[in-house]
Amino acid sequence: MPEVTRLLADIADVGRDAVRGGWSRPVLSTAELDLRAWFVGEAERRGLDVETDRNGILWAWWNPAGLPLRDAVVTGSHLDSVPGGGEFDGPLGVASALAAVDLLQQRGSSLARPLAVAVFPEEEGSRFGVACLGSRLLTGAIDPDRARGLRDPEGVTLAEAAAAQGFDPSSFGRDDEALARIGCFLELHVEQGRGLVDLGQPVAIGSSILGHGRWRLTFAGQGNHAGTTLMDDRRDPMVAAARAVVAVRDAARARPDARATVGRLRPVPGGTNVIASRVELWLDARHPDDAVTTALVAEIEQLARQIAAEEGCTASLVEESFSVTTVFDEGLRGRIEAVLPNAPLLGTGAGHDAGVLGTVVPTAMLFVRSPDGISHSPEESVEDADAEAGAVALADALESLLT
Ligand code: GLV
Ligand code: MN
Ligand code: MN
Ligand code: MN
């Protein structure tokens, strides 16, 4: 069995979700902690020195010449998942990094710079709401006080969840010592779209990430009894929310290249025979032009207020996170293009830690073909041969940067 496939097979049972299907590996869950332990074991088996930084990011160092830890070439990805997600979103980049280390060790490559494989926690933001939380903390893109107070759906704060697992949340925040070690970052990821399928290629070099953000939209009405409240007497925030979901879809459709999604909605208190008193819904909006995203969200807010008024409710919108459109470093990209001359350039609509790190260090990405373009779904897949081609491409790119 090829190496990336074998590594992923070793963790295929971790965090399987019998209810949703696929895998649920929220940050600081047993599943995610088991994956982190697996990573530490695999890294140490390869002779790498593993450390955990102030923000819970794992760094596995390969530095056989004992060079000073600066200007390092860093690769890696994440091991947490969305609820009921696929097998490859995140772990493919981590397994490919380990397989690339194997290839470089087999080739006897001598390193002129240290190499690190990094694992970033809470990339998906599926537990505490803010995506790329580890890399945002590392780079100072989120206030550590705000991060510590983020709550999961059960009301547990990040600080509480981290402390319960032996992390020290008081140390969270921009880590200049860790940042000073990074010369460049190269993340391999499953493509999650149909770009490579359409091009008939297994591997692409990333060019850009769409700007994207998350907003919480709350409709408040009058909680009441489903049997005794006449239809004309209701102030039902669920009806307002349902109309808003359609308005979100239509507003995005009216702007070329925009994407807007409501993938999560929470009625309070949430009972079959209860008219909700409040409904929260989470909006994900994306566009290559950040000004268009801002205008789109402003329009959605205005539509939500109008719908709420028509339903006897109120609406309010709060931004939870925003990431500007990222264009990857041209110099780094050029060096990777030189060793992967057949790989096409592709942008992506998915967010990645590479987008956050790209604000502070030269950053690039490699994408591996998704045979049907499906991701954030149990049906996400990658062909074995493409996974191996990705690892070889990553090893070639790393080797050219390291030697
Ligand atoms: C993460 O995968 C995102 O794009 O939201
Ligand atoms: Mn994802
Ligand atoms: Mn991912
Ligand atoms: Mn992502």
Report d(CA 103, CA 388) in Å as an integer.
11
Neighbours of ion ligand 3 (CB under 5 A): 89-90
Please tell me the distance between residue 152's alpha carbon and the centre of ligand 2 in angstroms: 18
Residue 1's pLDDT is what? 60
- Among the bound ligands, the one closest to the CA of 349: 1
Q: Which ligand is nearest to the CA of 81?
A: 2
> Residues lining ligand 1, judged by CB closer than 6 Å?
124, 131, 350-351
User: 81 CA to middle of ligand 2, Å?
Assistant: 7
Give the distance (Å) from ligand 4 centre to CA of residue 91.
11
* Distance in Å, CA 100 to ligand 4 centroid: 21
pLDDT digits (tens, 9 = 90+) for 321-379: 999 999 999 999 999 999 999 999 999 999 999 999 999 999 999 999 999 999 999 99
Residue type, 269: P
Q: Is domain 3-210+325-402 given the CATH code 3.40.630.10 in the classification?
A: yes
Ligand 1 atom at minimum distance from 375 CA: 2
pLDDT tier at 2, thresholds 50, 70, 90: low
- pLDDT confidence tier of residue 264, bands split at 50, 70 and 90: very high
Residue with CA nearest ligand 1 atom 5? 351
Confidence of residue 129 (pLDDT cuts 50, 70, 90): very high
As annotated, the residues of the chain forming the CATH 3.40.630.10 domain(s) are: 3-210+325-402
Q: Which amino acids are annotated as binding site for Zn(2+), given as ranges?
A: 78, 89, 124, 189, 376
pLDDT at position 219 is 99
- What number is the average pLDDT over the span 224-233? 98
CA 268 and chain centroid, separation: 28
How many angstroms separate the alpha carbon of residue 153 from the centre of ligand 1?
19
Say how far apart CA 380 and CA 224 lie, in whole Å.
Answer: 41
Residue nearest to atom 1 of ligand 1 (CA): 351
Atom of ligand 1 nearest to the CA of 349: 4
Ligand nearest to the CA of 189: 3
Flag whether the pTM goes above 0.90: yes
Which pLDDT score is estimated for 357?
98
How far does CA 108 lie from the centroid of its chain?
33
Residue 152 Rama label (left phi>0; alpha psi -120 to 50; beta): beta
Ligand 3 centre distance from Cα of residue 238 (Å)? 31
DSSP 20: T
Binding site residue list for allantoate: 214, 273, 286
Residues 130, 333: Cα–Cα separation, whole Å = 28
Domain range 211-323, CATH class: alpha beta
Mutate to test the pocket of ligand 1, among 27, 124, 133 (most ligand atoms within 8 A of CB): 124
Q: Which residues are annotated as a binding site?
A: 78, 89, 124, 189, 214, 273, 286, 376
Where in the sequence of the chain do the CATH 3.30.70.360 domains occur?
A: 211-323
- Please spell the DSSP secondary structure of 288-357, one letter per residue: SSHHHHHHHHHHHHHHHHHHHHHTT-EEEEEEEEEE--EE--HHHHHHHHHH-TTPPEEEESS--HHHHH
HEC per residue, 77-138:
ECCCCCCCECCCCCHHHHHHHHHHHHHHHHHCCCCCCCEEEEECCCCCCCCCCCCCHHHHHH
Interval 149-162 mean pLDDT: 98
